[in-house]
Amino acid sequence: MNTSPDNTTPGFNGHDHELMQRARALHEHACEHVDAATRAKLAMARHQASAAQDHRPRRMIWLPATGAAVACALVIGLVWFKPQPNNPDAPPAQVAAMPDAELPPDADARQFDLYQNLDFYQWLARQPQTRARPPGGRR
Amino acid sequence: MHGIGDDVDGLGRLAGTVEVSLAGAALAEATLETARPVARSIDAFLASVERRAWRAAEIALNDSDEALDAVQDAMLRLVRHYSAKPAEEWPLLFWGILRRRITDLQRRRTVRNRVLVWTGRTRLDEDGGELPAWDAPDPGPDPARAFASRQAYAAMSAAVRKLPRRQQQAFLLRVLEGLDVADTACAMGCSEGSVKTHLSRALDALRGQLEAWR
């Protein structure tokens, strides 16, 4: 029994060499004489594989371009719709520029009763000013 | 009578035997590895390898349609995943992919056959007969010679098919396809020493088959 690991050692004798040569010759001959139907199927399989390759670079080209466009749109959107500093005391810029008279009554305002009794307060404003004496106060 | 001259002749014959053996080993080394030209495109590479790949898969799978499926799948995987690799690496990658695909199909077939045997069903063709074990290649212009070659190839295929899987892969890649030991090891996913061991055992098993291959 031959236990040599490879044909590069002397353990592979001429018989092994002849066997390998014969096997390869038969294989080469069989590869050269493949029937037409199988050759056609192999060619079709190869064309399908090549078509898969043709689609691949196109997708790779569009991928960075699409990513760059999306990034640009995102940056523009962030700059354009940048949120204003949230200061509760300061009125919004557009509202602050408007005259007070054009302001509609604010339903959520604290002085909602002022607008309900507006006639009374107008009458009160027309009355002459008198100094009210505080109870128990000094003169 | 045994004299000095006989010893000299014996030494001469021994030296001649050693020379022949070493020359045979060197010749085997030189002829076993096939230097194939580097393909300029992946389509040219696939065109150069498709028939050999199909024949190798057919030997391993004993089914031309499954062999075709395995080769097509290997082609697609190579193109999709490795077409950007250097052209020198394509043969190694392709044979590695094909080897794994063949192993996968062999395992599936083993499971399927067990199920069919368990259920009492066998694989039959449309006429009810068992399918042929091997599809004969195209006879060519010389029918008698082609028939002899076909018979020899069928015998070789049957003998290789009977080998254990790893020995079969080592024989297909190393002997029939002509990859060197390092590339065969890479395609098989094992060490170079394992390749040598598998190939040695494969040749041990095939040693008595040469007469049937003539």
Tokens of B189: 């996913």
HEC string of chain B equals: CCCHHHHHHHHHHHHHHHHHHHHHHHHHHHHHCCCCCCCCCHHHHHHHHHHHHHHHHHHHHCCHHHHHHHHHHHHHHHHHHHCCCCHHHHHHHHHHHHHHHHHHHHHHHHHHHHHHHHHCCCCECCCCCECCCCCCCCCCCCHHHHHHHHHHHHHHHHHHHCCCHHHHHHHHHHHHCCCCHHHHHHHHCCCHHHHHHHHHHHHHHHHHHHHHHC
**Are B115 and B108 spatial neighbours (Cβ–Cβ below 8 Å)?**
no
Considering only the beta carbons, identify the residue of B55, B204, B213 that sits closest to A2.
B204
Note the residue count of chain B: 214
pLDDT for A76: 87
Considering only the beta carbons, identify the residue of A10, A26, A45 that sits closest to B22.
A10
pLDDT higher for A4 or B53? B53
> Is A95's pLDDT higher than 80?
no
pLDDT for B40: 80
> Is A136's pLDDT higher than 70?
no
Query: Residue B213 and residue A38: Cβ atoms within 8 Å?
Result: no
Q: Whole-angstrom Cα distance, residue A33 to residue B139?
A: 8
pTM above the 0.90 mark?
Answer: no
Q: Which residues contact B172 (CB under 8 A, 6 or more apart)?
A: B56, B59, B60, B160
**Are A31 and B135 spatial neighbours (Cβ–Cβ below 8 Å)?**
no
- Whole-complex ipTM: 0.71
Task: Please give the average pLDDT of every successive group of 10 residues along chain B, which has 214 residues.
Answer: 45 43 45 72 91 93 92 93 89 93 89 78 48 49 73 90 93 92 92 93 86 74
- List B124's β-bridge partners, or say none: B130
Q: Which residues in chain B have their CB less than 8 angstroms from residue A15's CB?
A: 207, 210
Closest CA to B54 of A20, A43, A50: A43
Closest CA to B173 of B154, B194, B155, B152: B194
Distance from the Cα of B1 to chain A's closest Cα (Å) equals: 32
A–B CB contacts, 8 A cutoff, strictly below: 154
Name the band, by pLDDT with cuts 50, 70 and 90, for residue A116: confident
Query: Residue B31 and residue A21: Cβ atoms within 8 Å?
Result: yes
Query: Residue B43 and residue A30: Cβ atoms within 8 Å?
Result: no
What mean pLDDT comes out for the span A84-103?
55
Q: Which residues in chain B have their CB less than 8 angstroms from residue A21's CB?
A: 31
Interface test with B, best of A53, A55, A58, A59 (most B CBs within 10 A): A53
